[in-house]
Copies of this chain bind each other. A is one copy, B any other.
């Protein structure tokens, strides 16, 4: 196989026009084609979501249990029928987990980690992380004047059910306090600290960022609340719950705010674009050299490869001792000399 022509990710037109055109073919997967293929979660389909073209016999052959189907044989057929010789799988937990299945089934495949949670095992960086932090910091800082003029404690919820990277790094660049899923915390001590911040800040406000999955000692994180007056059950929102607790303990008005809705869209920042472009080209290099079953990565501050994330290990989490100051509810700022640019080494 000839080496593919080198270029940036957006240079698709140029790619298509090159004399290596034969190595690239665009497969547009509109909704109709998708219905004829398999859909999301190919190895765990309910009966109700089986593709309409599947015969009952064929389905039965792929049943794992009464109402669970693994359509991987179908996926492998489709890959062959579409003439896909090499696959680049881009995504987070779900995508990379299924990439492992395809790799085991013999598909030639390179994975690229992409999730704002930045919690994929084996890499210090996943596409989307830097832009999420850039945006979160901007949104948070924009609310400082409002918090100051109402003299409130601002509680900002950010995604991160199992890992606190987004909460921690937003706190790092915005100089804010934060709580993360990796550490059960003492709510009274946090409340006291924020009350002191509020008192000492010349504009009389304070800020804490909470990851979705960060809970305090004694609390029970519930996925389902009681039915409300609308007749619905709501998921408990940890930001609103924390804001209520802080108000009860400090007597200071609190405001629960979200850093979620607006982070999933918009322009990537330069680091994100740089890593995405570089991962793409490394993936092309790997494929050209016949590599398969690996993931592009950043390790020790350098571009590297890593194995596909192993099954059952769960997401990467924050190294609390190295990165989090439990006493002060802050990122640790000391002892950074020798560490990689994004502060934590995965080697």
Tell me the A residues contacting B by CB distance below 8 Å.
3, 6-11, 13-14, 17, 31, 125, 130-131, 133-134, 137-139, 141-143, 145-146, 151, 169, 172-175, 197, 200-202, 204, 219-222, 224-230, 232, 234, 236-237, 240-241, 244-245, 257-258, 261-262, 264-267, 269-271, 273-275, 277-278, 281-282, 285, 298, 300-305, 325, 330-343
Contact = CB atoms under 8 A, between A and B. Distances in A.
A269 B333 CA distance: 19
B269 A7 contact: no
A86 to B, nearest CB: 17
A206 B63 CA distance: 34
Contact of A202 (B13, B139, B278): B13
A274 B173 contact: yes
A342 B274 contact: yes
Contact of A265 (B145, B151, B335): B145
Nearest to A175: B8
Contact of A269 (B130, B281, B325): B130
A304 B240 CA distance: 41
A32 to B, nearest CB: 11
Contacts of A31: 151, 204
A341 B273 CA distance: 12
Given A6-B334, A225-B226, A302-B340, 16 more contacts: A8-B173, A8-B333, A9-B175, A137-B270, A139-B262, A172-B273, A219-B230, A221-B229, A230-B236, A232-B240, A232-B245, A270-B271, A285-B335, A285-B336, A285-B337, A341-B342
Given A31-B204, A134-B134, A258-B258, A237 B236 contact: no
Q: How many copies does the complex hold?
A: 4
A66 to B, nearest CB: 22
Given A270-B269, A274-B169, A336-B281, A302 B303 contact: no
B173 A270 contact: yes
A230 B141 CA distance: 29
B234 A229 contact: no
A133 B273 CA distance: 10
A124 to B, nearest CB: 9
Nearest to A202: B13
A26 to B, nearest CB: 13
Contact of A236 (B200, B202, B228): B228
A286 to B, nearest CB: 8
Contact of A336 (B169, B225, B301, B303): B303
A244 B231 CA distance: 10
Contacts of A226: 225-228
A244 B264 contact: no
A304 to B, nearest CB: 7
A62 B243 CA distance: 35
A341 B341 contact: yes
B143 A265 contact: yes
A199 to B, nearest CB: 10
Top 7 closest pairs, chain A to chain B, by CB: A301-B301, A222-B229, A8-B175, A226-B226, A225-B228, A173-B273, A133-B270
Nearest to A281: B333
Contact of A17 (B200, B271, B273, B303): B200
30 contacts: A8-B331, A13-B200, A14-B200, A17-B200, A31-B151, A134-B269, A134-B270, A138-B267, A139-B262, A142-B262, A146-B264, A173-B274, A174-B273, A175-B277, A220-B229, A220-B230, A222-B229, A225-B225, A225-B228, A226-B228, A230-B236, A230-B241, A275-B341, A278-B343, A281-B334, A285-B335, A301-B301, A301-B302, A303-B340, A304-B337
